[in-house]
Structure 1
Amino acid sequence: MKDHFFTESPFKTLISFHKLIESLEEIAVSDIDYRANYAKALLKEIEPFPEFRSGIENLDLIYKNEKLIQNLLADLFPTALTHNEIKAVTIPFQNFSFNYTERLKKIVKEAGVSFDMSISNLNEYQFYIMNCTLILNEHYGQKIDYNNPLFYDIPNQNGIINQYRILYNADFIEITPTAAVKKLTQDEIDLLIDNYDNIALWKEKFPVNSWILKGFGIAILFDATIESAISKLKSNLLKPEMEQISLQNNFESIFRSIFKNSNLRIGLVIYDTEENKFINTSFNEDGSSGSFILSADQELNCENELLGCSFEKLLETKKPLCISNVEKFALIPGNEKLGNHLLDQNIQSCIFAPIINNNTILGIIELVSSNKRELNSLNARKLDLIIPYLIDTAERHNLDKQHQIDAIIQREYTAIHPSVYWKFRREASKYFETNRQNKDYIFKEIVFKEVYPLYGQIDIQSSSEHRNQTVKQDLINQVSTLIKILDHRELHSSLVVLKQRKFELKSFLNQLQFPLKADTEQQIQLYIENEIHPILNNRESGFTKEISVINYFESLDKKSGMFYHSRKKFDNAVSIINKKLASLLDEKQAEAQLIFPHYYERFKTDGIEHNIYIGASIAPSKTFDILYLHNLRLWQLQIVCEMEMMHHQLKNSLPYELEVASLILVFSSSISIRFRMDEKRFDVDGTYNARYEVVKKRIDKANIKGTKERITAKEKITIVYSHSNEETEYLNYIKFLQFKNILEPTIEQFEVEELQGVSGLKAIRVKVRNDNEILTLKKYSYQDLLNELN
């Protein structure tokens, strides 16, 4: 037997049987002869050990007199109950015990020699505070309920952890202060109650060994394994899904405790009622299947023949499928595939129980064992204790999944930016509350007034020309390949039609030497599909076995049925540019929200466009200042520089080399934006504000006034503006970024040709330095610029 006393305690502990001895002394002088004689004989036996009364400090005295102590405690530990009760003598809250009942001895023996009898959920800090509360309750008349349930975690012979709750009988203990103890005032007690975490304060008021605890306690244990396991399961199921994934082994340990089965393994599948299929939860840490039904499959239709007739019955009756002997089950017609599927995983007995709520199956909990008859219809009843918590988890899983789906839909299809989400939410809340009162509610339009717009784009230059050129190249290659195939076959065939088809293909080839007309691509595609491919696919023509024909068909794009080599390089290049630049813009824009909350949206075309709106109406809880607009303009210019630099470093690795040009439109007047319900997007509101939209749509195709040169140019940023104060502002930004070695020294300034309904526009054009080695630039604020100018 080992002693595991906590090192520090407010008590000096004396293990004493003095109250028991006093009781024996009373019995010894009673009139009941057989009781009196028994008491006298026992008192005589313990007479050589005065420490039994005064208090034992040397534990060796207990170990050497175990039999005598057992006799002394016989009335408290009846022999008739020793194989039933789980009891021992102890000091409350200490990891020290002796005089075990036979049942407790058996439990400890099965646990093994390495097992230490210590309280599982009590540390030294908690131990000290609990002893202090004993003193406060006993001597100061307080009613502090601090004691949490305490447990011994004891493994059985099969390795299953059984949890035993501890109840203390303290009738044979007395607590007395030493002479050094100073009585506490109520204010001091209140201070302690309000400062649980201040162990130094507790030790100041209750110094180590300042009180005497004399006597002994009795620890009464009862098996609370199932209740404790269910409590742990409930706690784990309440955790976020990502944390649950890392708790797979913990879940199995809990289920093994409940079913007292060390071979038990668990799985879980979610049932999709809409599509009538099971979905894997990927429950294991390694991301592998969390199911024994699905195994490596991620989904399984409920009508799949693998499940068989027994599983169909489970879905119909909504009652558990219990298989105590899988080998026998596999011999039943209709169950062969499922039975063999389970046997392949070394499953000999299993329970598949539906998780049901409102008569709807949410999922299936799977319990399997590698031994026959360990799982059966009798112990399946234990699932009645667990299923209610699994229902909550399955419902939460479905709800979380729905929220994620909604988030994806919002992000990918009908995005509402977080900066303006509050206003949509407020309208939706009003609608919800009104509908609860059975009233009609008319949605108010979502309008943000007096906001300042910022527009920018990084456009792939001459994208339409590049696209047409790749289309033409693919058509030329395909038509030339077909002419070669027909040339070769014409030598070995008497088919006159081949000459005619070859002539027609050469006519198309001649057309392709000139600029593409609107219908040229479609015309050639239909001709090849209707006139050429039928000949090549005709077995009697002899084409089908030729390697050149086989290679030709393998070269066709599966969707279009045409050559897609040059176009694929172009499309891939555009896709890479868009993806990289959009990711950079999105990432940096999240940081820009720290300047002042603002609405942001971006679009992928042949390049990237973005709109930003900033103003007091978008964040009414914050105070807006025009300084935030200037900061955001400087941020925008820096981000466009960074996007230009990223493209420069990227373009040499592209499958099709493309150049880009950047544009920023400056508009200093505030405008209003309105959410268009039909288009599910924001647009400018009102006739006056429409001028901004007109300029935005036409400006990138505009020329420098009096020339045929576009205002945008490769690797340069063009800033379009109307007023002199805007010019001054952006020249300051440009000079600052030139000083920071981000922009090149040359600045071009010119007037923009008149657009339809818009005149008086001017522009600044400047080139981004592309010899910077560091792609991610340090972001400078408007205050940095002011500091530099001063």
Structure 2
Amino acid sequence: MDDSQNIIGPLIAKISFHKVLESLENIAQSDIDYRSEYAKALLKHAEPYPELREGITDLSLLDKHEKLIKNLLADLFPTALTRNEIKAAAIPFFNITFNYTERFKNIVNAAGDDFGMAIRNFDDHQFYVFCCCLILNSHYGYHFDFSKPLFYDIPDSTGVMRHYRILYNADFLEIIPTEKAVEITPEDVNLLIDNFDNLDLWRQKFPEGSWISKGFGILTLFDATTESAISNLKSNLLKNEDFTDDTKAGVESIFRSIYKIPDLRIGYTEINTEDNEFRLAPFDDMKSFILDNNREMSCGSMFCECTLDYLMNKKDYFIISDVDAYAKDNPEDAKFAQHLLAQDVRSCILAPIIKNNKLLGLVELVSSRPKELNSINANKLAYILPFLSDTIERYYSELQNQIDAIIQNEYTAIHHSVYWKFREEALQHINSASRNLAYKEIVFREVYPLYGQIDIKGSSTARNESIEKDLILQIESLLSLFRFIFKTEKLPLIEQHIYELEKLENQLKSELKADTEAVVQNYVINEIHPVLQHFDSANTEIHDKIAAYFASLDDKMKLVYDSRKDFDDALSIINKQMAAVLDRKQEEAQAFFPHYYERFKTDGVEHNLYIGASISPKHSYNPIYLDNLRLWQLQAMCEMENEYYKLRPTLPYDLDVTSLILVFSAPISIRFRMDEKRFDVDGTYNARYEVVKKRIDKSYIKGTKERITEKGKITIVYSQKQEEEEYRRYIRFLQHKNMLGNVIESFEVEDLQGVTGLKALRVGVIYAVQQKNAETYSYEDLLKELEH
């Protein structure tokens, strides 16, 4: 019995058996002697205790009268059914129960002394409103359907959670108002039915303790573990967008309830039918008992041909009720059986996940005890697999969407500013009577180009230096190791390799040739490493030295890869951060006027912008938008330089960057190259722009051997006087905003092949590392500044 009489609600529970006693009084007057005598005897025993008729509020009296109450309720709780039915006397919605059947007692005892029964997902708000609805139905004669499935979740002796549906019988209960009760009018009822969530309103109409529930109800529990677990499984799978650890734990717990196996484990293995491979699913921490610690393996390497055919083609459950016995009876599958036994799996069910007739993978149910999982209880999966199939298919679909988004973003994006043109052409093709029409090329005419880059200064030299450092360290380590081996094993072969390694070391320190890396790599892997593997078991000291050497190598390259890895990581970090800044800034630039934008990651980040009326014909184009975009581009380069300045101290390899902007005032045409899936300039004249783009960053100041780009500065290349004047205005404005330095360098650029007359401005960047969000200034801001 739960002593929960302190719940705040409109009802005061008075446990009374007056209706039972009234029924006994009628039986006592009947002509059936044995029934009459039985009723009279019970009434005589109950007579000294008027509280049984008037009502009990002191719950300790239930224990005092336990035996008498059991006799009074004997007709309602037949002794013959006490081991089968799960019943008790109760007050509906209150956690007050008594007079249990034997089966009910056994269930509660198995749950443990510290277990407290409470209705699942039934809070104080619901309790209050449900009690009010009980009053409205019982006393006022309304018919509000406030019933909903109510459950007790009670663990069994093994810890498996069981779910019991609650059914109430209120035939022996009546609702009586007290002097605190408020008379309820039809208007009140109309107000209440539209305000379930307004608890204050319900409290106002049904004050606390204003009604009495006199009598008792009969509580019957129905074991709905499987049905409830399946319902919980559906909710669990639907509410989670990703297959997280919590999802897996929840699903595993639900499966344990369904199968009544406390240590049941669940796994999943993805199947790639095209490559005939088992793969680890891309879900967080999802165990695969087929793969164990592997990420993938050929299907044929784990199962025999017969078993594999059963799994892949018949697509039915594969069940092993006793793995030990299976290993003895099926020697052709002994490898798989031993693989399971090594993971403490003694019985298992492998169930195929199929969606749209495609085999996605296998759900694995495993137990550490034989016979726990078998062909009989495997049938329970028929209720569960449809939900799992839908969910796993949804996860794969969402994963594919993420993959597609990354591919579009990083590799083959069609920028949204020109998407309308591609969509127009695609719709025309789809709606055409002939689907065999050739696709038209997408061309945008009369657009103005803007080009910029932030480049890694001397990236080729830095890369070669990192290669040289790694190769020298590799050779030095091998020389030390071979000299140590030669002290013990004085073999001519060892001496020859020492000679060859010393020769390589001298070559590396003098000059790094184009093929040096490949030569050293082939020599070390094909000649040196086999020798070391031969001597690995010579003695303990040599073994330890050789093991330490191999442990220092990169897992994939099997070579020293420290400096090169630092260089590659630094380059990747710079590119990622610079691209992120540019992408973020581009979002605000698109608000000025829609324009085409693309960027590329090489040894740095390059970007192309094209703006013009043909890009966005629905907007009214004005040259001021080009001016605004040019000013924006210069600011964006400043911000990228600032971002690099903040990033540099954290890089694993020290690198410098240089920034460059190319100004080109003549409009050009761009065409989408179908074979290359990218835009390119269209026409011979426009090709001059591409020539300049590809060669300008490596060019020199005319008459010198000094590059036009320099770290910490932005170089602006132009060809016309009005372009210089325009950018000097921008520079002065950004100097005023403390973004650019005071000194502006001006020089001519060396002649390029087919291109002459280029000039450049170069100005230093002011690094404002404390400025988290740099403000972007528009062309209108510049004009306002010039007015002052």
Do the two structures share a fold, i.e. TM-score over 0.5? yes
**Superposition deviation, residue 151 in structure 1:** 0.8
**Alpha-carbon distance in 1 for matches of 2:216, 2:387:** 41
The answer on 1:579 being equivalent to 2:577 is: no
| Alpha-carbon spacing, 1:294–1:159, altered in 2? closer, same or farther (3 Å) | same
Which stretch has the larger CA shift, 760-769 or 116-125? Answer: 760-769
**Alpha-carbon distance in 2 for matches of 1:120, 1:657:** 60
Aligned ranges 1:350-499 → 2 under 5 Å: 350-357=348-355, 360-417=358-415, 453-460=449-456
Q: Report if the CA contact (8 A) 1:87-1:220 is conserved.
A: yes
Equivalent position amino acid for 2:572 in 1: K
Equivalent position amino acid for 2:372 in 1: E
SS at match of 1:238: helix
**Superposition deviation, residue 280 in structure 1:** 1.6
SS at match of 2:23: helix
**Superposition deviation, residue 636 in structure 1:** 3.1
The answer on 1:74 being equivalent to 2:74 is: yes
The residue number in structure 1 matching 2:495 is none
1:337 to 335, 338, 344: 335
**Superposition deviation, residue 194 in structure 1:** 3.7
Equivalent position amino acid for 1:272 in 2: N
**Superposition deviation, residue 583 in structure 1:** 1.5
1:151-197 CA-partner distances (Å, limit 9, x unpaired): 11111111111110101112222234444444455555444444433
The residue number in structure 2 matching 1:540 is none
**Alpha-carbon distance in 2 for matches of 1:653, 1:157:** 56
The answer on 1:123 being equivalent to 2:118 is: no
SS at match of 2:588: coil
The residue number in structure 1 matching 2:86 is 86
**Superposition deviation, residue 268 in structure 1:** 1.2
**Alpha-carbon distance in 2 for matches of 1:600, 1:745:** 31
1:472-518 CA-partner distances (Å, limit 9, x unpaired): 9999xxxxxxxxxxxxxxxxxxxxxxxxxxxxx9xxx9xx99xx9xx
Equivalent position amino acid for 1:390 in 2: L
**Alpha-carbon distance in 1 for matches of 2:248, 2:301:** 28
**Superposition deviation, residue 9 in structure 1:** 0.7
1:413-452 CA-partner distances (Å, limit 9, x unpaired): 32234565576568767877x59x9977876766678876
**Alpha-carbon distance in 2 for matches of 1:431, 1:9:** 69
SS at match of 2:242: helix
Which stretch has the larger CA shift, 28-37 or 94-103? Answer: 28-37
| Alpha-carbon spacing, 1:58–1:623, altered in 2? closer, same or farther (3 Å) | farther
The residue number in structure 2 matching 1:280 is 280
Q: Report if the CA contact (8 A) 1:578-1:604 is conserved.
A: no
Q: What is the TM-score with the length of structure 2 in the denominator?
A: 0.77
Q: What is the TM-score with the length of structure 1 in the denominator?
A: 0.77
SS at match of 2:3: coil
SS at match of 1:242: coil
Equivalent position amino acid for 1:352 in 2: L
1:266-325 CA-partner distances (Å, limit 9, x unpaired): 211111111111112266x6x3x6011211011121110566754554334333222222
**Alpha-carbon distance in 2 for matches of 1:683, 1:243:** 43
SS at match of 1:319: coil
The residue number in structure 2 matching 1:290 is 287
**Alpha-carbon distance in 1 for matches of 2:465, 2:108:** 84
Which stretch has the larger CA shift, 345-354 or 82-91? Answer: 345-354
The residue number in structure 2 matching 1:589 is 582
2:716 to 710, 719, 736: 719
The residue number in structure 2 matching 1:258 is 258
SS at match of 1:92: coil
| Alpha-carbon spacing, 1:577–1:386, altered in 2? closer, same or farther (3 Å) | closer
Q: Report if the CA contact (8 A) 1:419-1:619 is conserved.
A: yes
Q: Report if the CA contact (8 A) 1:237-1:244 is conserved.
A: no
Q: Report if the CA contact (8 A) 1:6-1:95 is conserved.
A: no
**Alpha-carbon distance in 2 for matches of 1:659, 1:37:** 107
Q: Report if the CA contact (8 A) 1:10-1:208 is conserved.
A: yes
Q: Report if the CA contact (8 A) 1:173-1:216 is conserved.
A: yes
**Alpha-carbon distance in 1 for matches of 2:611, 2:456:** 27
Q: Report if the CA contact (8 A) 2:429-2:435 is conserved.
A: no
| Alpha-carbon spacing, 1:108–1:703, altered in 2? closer, same or farther (3 Å) | closer
| Alpha-carbon spacing, 1:788–1:182, altered in 2? closer, same or farther (3 Å) | farther
SS at match of 2:454: strand
Q: Report if the CA contact (8 A) 2:16-2:54 is conserved.
A: yes
**Alpha-carbon distance in 2 for matches of 1:454, 1:190:** 68
SS at match of 1:132: helix
2:344 to 340, 343, 346: 346
**Superposition deviation, residue 649 in structure 1:** 7.5
**Superposition deviation, residue 98 in structure 1:** 0.8
Identity of aligned residues (%): 55
**Alpha-carbon distance in 2 for matches of 1:222, 1:423:** 63
**Alpha-carbon distance in 2 for matches of 1:342, 1:226:** 28
Q: Report if the CA contact (8 A) 1:661-1:717 is conserved.
A: yes
**Superposition deviation, residue 380 in structure 1:** 1.6
The residue number in structure 1 matching 2:152 is 152
SS at match of 2:157: coil
The answer on 1:27 being equivalent to 2:27 is: yes
**Alpha-carbon distance in 1 for matches of 2:469, 2:28:** 117
| Alpha-carbon spacing, 1:439–1:38, altered in 2? closer, same or farther (3 Å) | farther
The residue number in structure 1 matching 2:662 is 665
**Alpha-carbon distance in 1 for matches of 2:117, 2:649:** 70
Which stretch has the larger CA shift, 36-45 or 654-663? Answer: 654-663
**Superposition deviation, residue 198 in structure 1:** 2.9
1:317-355 CA-partner distances (Å, limit 9, x unpaired): 333222222222222321221122222222222222223
**Superposition deviation, residue 216 in structure 1:** 1.6
1:781 to 774, 777, 780: 777
Q: Report if the CA contact (8 A) 2:744-2:761 is conserved.
A: yes
**Superposition deviation, residue 71 in structure 1:** 1.7
**Alpha-carbon distance in 2 for matches of 1:225, 1:622:** 63
| Alpha-carbon spacing, 1:736–1:133, altered in 2? closer, same or farther (3 Å) | farther
1:635-657 CA-partner distances (Å, limit 9, x unpaired): 43233234445666888999998
1:13-47 CA-partner distances (Å, limit 9, x unpaired): 22222333333333333343333333333223222
| Alpha-carbon spacing, 1:216–1:721, altered in 2? closer, same or farther (3 Å) | farther
SS at match of 1:292: coil
**Superposition deviation, residue 611 in structure 1:** 1.8
**Alpha-carbon distance in 2 for matches of 1:586, 1:205:** 63
Q: Report if the CA contact (8 A) 1:448-1:674 is conserved.
A: yes
**Alpha-carbon distance in 2 for matches of 1:439, 1:159:** 64
Q: Report if the CA contact (8 A) 1:270-1:394 is conserved.
A: no
The residue number in structure 2 matching 1:198 is 198
> RMSD of the TM alignment (CA)?
4.9
Q: Report if the CA contact (8 A) 2:708-2:715 is conserved.
A: yes
- Structure 1: which 5+ runs fail to align? 476-504, 538-543, 546-553, 559-563
| Alpha-carbon spacing, 1:725–1:7, altered in 2? closer, same or farther (3 Å) | farther
- Structure 2: which 5+ runs fail to align? 472-502, 528-533, 536-548, 554-558
**Superposition deviation, residue 224 in structure 1:** 0.5
**Alpha-carbon distance in 2 for matches of 1:130, 1:750:** 86
**Superposition deviation, residue 688 in structure 1:** 8.9
| Alpha-carbon spacing, 1:602–1:72, altered in 2? closer, same or farther (3 Å) | same
Equivalent position amino acid for 1:317 in 2: K
Q: Report if the CA contact (8 A) 2:701-2:747 is conserved.
A: yes
Q: Report if the CA contact (8 A) 1:348-1:371 is conserved.
A: yes
2:762 to 752, 761, 765: 765
The answer on 1:303 being equivalent to 2:314 is: no
1:395-424 CA-partner distances (Å, limit 9, x unpaired): 224333433443343344322345655765
**Alpha-carbon distance in 1 for matches of 2:87, 2:468:** 92
SS at match of 1:247: helix
SS at match of 2:349: strand
The residue number in structure 1 matching 2:543 is none
**Alpha-carbon distance in 2 for matches of 1:729, 1:251:** 65
Q: Report if the CA contact (8 A) 2:566-2:653 is conserved.
A: yes
